[in-house]
A and B are shown apart, each in its own frame.
Chain A
Amino acid sequence: MSVHTFDTMGTVVSIRLPDSLASDDAQMALSMVEREFTLRDERFSLYKQDSEASRIARGELLLTDSSDTMRDAYAESLAWRDATGGAFTPHRPDGVLDLSGTVKADALRASDVVLREAGVDVFSVNAGGDLVTAGVPEVGAWITGIANPLEAGDVLSVVSMTSTFSCMATSGTAERGEHIWRRPETDASFVQATVCAGDIMTADVLATAIIAGGAETLDYVTSRGDVAVLVVRADGSLLGNDAFRNLVTPA
């Protein structure tokens, strides 16, 4: 298994590919993935002054005049806002449109597609702690650790990804950026939420929504029945569902 990393969107992306892949193919796969991230970084980053998102935020460009890509991303975020009862939202409290909550997951989803289309059937792509996996590596499963938010460098849990739960995202109060906005009435005891799902957008949005919406959103998320969830409370206690417990790697 070979590992490749590159910087983008203010974080680091790690890609794992099997050694059996010819080096030309691997090189091409890597540049395709990097391109998916770069395209989105240039369009959606609010820290880039000349990005389309920054022009919208400054009022120079109306959303109605923006690119199809921008409006599609906005529409998807709005659909998730409705699906989570408002716990997830693309609007910052100051009114600025902030799609950074979905752009990384969107890039991971696109990476997953281009890699499969290129015939790569075993891989993992990890963008700053959110990841997509495919196939079965030599050790039998993609084994993933979940960071302990209360103790840096500590691994809280270890799970094996499956084809049903091939994607994982973790959100927390320590998260970079400001795209998690808690409602004032939200129970603030949830410090980290991990969601495994069959697609990275679902995992990422729901992990963010649990932190933003607290216990009530956790109830909604687990009632979907298609996700595995682990929540860490500020006192170190854990909440999870059966689907998550089934993913825990046996000793």
Chain B
Amino acid sequence: MRARAAFLAGAGSAALLAIGWNASLSLATTNTTNSVPAAAGTSGVATTKSSSAASTPAPSASAAPSDSASAAPAPAPAPAPAPAGPADGTYQGQAIDYQFGTVQVSVVIAGGQITDVQNNIAQATRGRDQAFPLLLNEVLQAQSAHISNLSGATYTTRAYEQAVQSALDAAGFTG
């Protein structure tokens, strides 16, 4: 990635940029195909991983879970009327090494639905600092009482009157 970034920084041609863009796309695709089956169940990981790489279309492996239900010894208390879906609980996926570090996620299932996806290890462990999906509750642990500034795409003088910053300024940041 370092080589590509440096390369891109120097290159101005659209053709060269397009190559870089494709490269980053294929990297992303590889990551998702690896991580999705890993997140799908606790014990079925090894088999799903190889089969999905081969031919199985199953794009919604994480949500359509009939196989993992039979294989996984549910880590949660027995669900009441649950039909054929997966048992409630938190399912931890395999730690996946990739170019820039390690990714491991857990999926929380309740009532047959995925209610949360947690990043267990998401930092780049090899000197890289990559962007990855964040969940809203990871960025919004609001202490709104103490907010003094608001960052956003530039507001005009007129829009400021309707903007949150205007209210913060009027309140005078009593902290």
Contacts and interface: CB of A to CB of B under 8 A. Distances in A.
Q: How large is the interface on B (under 10, 10 to 19, 20 to 34, 35 or more residues)?
A: 35 or more
A123 to B, nearest CB: 11
Interface residues of A, number: 78
Contacts of B136: 156, 238
Given A104-B154, A137-B148, A223-B5, 5 more contacts: A145-B144, A168-B151, A229-B131, A238-B135, A249-B143
A37 interface: no
B133 A238 contact: yes
Interface in B89-142: 122-124, 127-136, 138-142
A129 B129 contact: no
A194 interface: yes
A198 interface: no
B173 A155 contact: no
B57 interface: no
29 contacts: A3-B172, A5-B169, A14-B168, A82-B9, A126-B151, A129-B150, A129-B151, A129-B155, A137-B175, A139-B175, A146-B139, A147-B150, A155-B144, A155-B150, A172-B152, A176-B153, A183-B14, A185-B17, A216-B20, A216-B24, A219-B131, A222-B131, A223-B1, A241-B132, A242-B129, A248-B138, A248-B139, A249-B141, A251-B141
B8 interface: yes
B153 A10 contact: no
Contact of B131 (A130, A170, A231): A231
Given A143-B147, A158-B147, A237-B133, A149 B138 contact: no
A220 B5 contact: yes
B132 A158 contact: no
A144 interface: yes
B26 interface: no
Interface stretch (B37-45, B47-55, B68-76, B156-164): B156-164
Interface of A: 1-3, 5, 7, 10-12, 14, 16, 82-86, 104, 124, 126, 128-131, 133, 137-139, 142-147, 149, 152-153, 155-158, 168-177, 183, 185, 192, 194, 215-216, 218-220, 222-225, 229-231, 237-245, 248-251
A84 B9 contact: yes
A194 B134 CA distance: 14
A185 B129 contact: no
Nearest to A126: B149
B148 A142 contact: yes
Given A129-B150, A143-B146, A251-B141, A14 B131 contact: no
B58 interface: no
A107 to B, nearest CB: 13
